[in-house]
Amino acid sequence: MTKPITIYGKGGTPNPLKVLIMLEELGLPFETKEVQNEDLKKEPYESVNPNGRLPAIFDPNTDVTLFESGAIIEYLVETYDKEGKFTYTTSPEKYLLKSWLAFQISGQGPYFGQAAWFMFFHPEKLPSVIERYQNEIKRVIGVFERHFKRKGTEYLVGDKVTYVDLAFIPWNSGISGFLVKDWDWRSEHPLTAAWHEKLMSRPAVKKILEEHGPKV
């Protein structure tokens, strides 16, 4: 029997949510361990994640401790998705999955995160900085729309939901809620909106967002 995987995170934050969604979709037991901001950059958590960020996991079934959400998601899929439900082993699909995951962790996540920081947490209001990151949000959403239009597919790679589709959910969910005001992105990017809504309707996604998502 699979022992529960420990995920270190904080309720409502997008990067831990990415991992929680993957755990739920794979049907893996898990337990959450909340780490407060003041404890991120000191022991014992720094031994779990040298970067002092969330999330991280400990898998007692393999004695593996990992940090960085992209690496964790790839690990979970490689270790537990033996039937390939959320991945591909064929070329070029398996490499395209890596490309899209790299885009999520280097493009979507940082830009969306910086938008949130400068809108809600930075001590000074810097309109030009906020505008820059909100424009990046619009650019990222445009990347999806052009891709779906060009490929004629419903998902990022192939004809099924994969781990890369799921990885984009938490940050995309914040667009209408708080990251960009007065932008009807669904009308402007209907293919991306349809993709997002299909993902949001999945039972595992609904469960995780209801139980662990931001309370707004």
What CATH number does residue 30 fall under? 3.40.30.10
Q: What is the pLDDT of residues 71-83, one digit of tens each?
A: 999 999 999 999 9
Residue 178 backbone zone (phi > 0: left; psi -120 to 50: alpha; other: beta): alpha
What is the average per-residue pLDDT within 87-96? 98
Evaluate the CA torsion angle 195, 116, 109, 42 in order and state its sign: negative
Domain CATH for 144: 1.20.1050.10
pLDDT of 157 above 90: yes
Whether 5 contacts 65, CB under 8 Å: no
Statement to judge: residues 102 and 19 lie in one domain: no
Q: What is the pLDDT of residues 4-41, one digit of tens each?
A: 999 998 878 999 999 999 999 999 999 999 999 999 99
Q: What is the pLDDT of residues 103-135, one digit of tens each?
A: 999 999 999 999 999 999 999 999 999 999 999
Statement to judge: residues 80 and 97 lie in one domain: no
Half-sphere exposure of 23 (CA within 13 A, CB side): 28
Statement to judge: residues 108 and 167 lie in one domain: yes
Statement to judge: residues 192 and 109 lie in one domain: yes
Q: What residues have CB less than 8 Å from 16, skipping those under 6 apart?
A: 7, 8, 9, 10, 32, 54, 55, 69, 212
Lowest mean pLDDT among 134-143, 167-176, 203-212: 167-176
Statement to judge: residues 130 and 61 lie in one domain: no
Statement to judge: residues 99 and 201 lie in one domain: yes
**Percent of the chain scoring above 90 in pLDDT:** 89
Whether 17 contacts 209, CB under 8 Å: yes
Evaluate the CA torsion angle 198, 203, 206, 209 in order and state its sign: negative
DSSP 76-113: HHHHH-TT-TT---STTHHHHHHHHHHHIIIIIHHHHH
Q: Does some domain include residue 169?
A: yes
* pTM (predicted TM-score): 0.95
pLDDT of 182 above 60: yes
What's the confidence (pLDDT) of residue 174?
A: 83
Evaluate the CA torsion angle 76, 103, 125, 216 in order and state its sign: negative
Q: Does some domain include residue 128?
A: yes
Q: What is the pLDDT of residues 187-211, one digit of tens each?
A: 999 999 999 999 999 999 999 999 9
Residue 31: other Cβ atoms inside 10 A: 10
Instruction: Provide the residue range defining the domain that includes 72.
Output: 5-85
Single residue among 85, 104, 130 that ends a domain in this structure:
85
Is beta strand 30-34 parallel, antiparallel or unpaired with respect to 64-67?
A: unpaired
Number of domains in the chain: 2
Phi, psi of 49 (to 5 degrees): -135, 100
What's the confidence (pLDDT) of residue 216?
A: 47
d(CA 104, CA 164): 8
Q: Average model confidence (pLDDT) for the chain?
A: 95
Statement to judge: residues 60 and 127 lie in one domain: no
Single residue among 85, 119, 142 that ends a domain in this structure:
85
Identify the H or E element spanning 150: helix 127-151
Statement to judge: residues 188 and 110 lie in one domain: yes
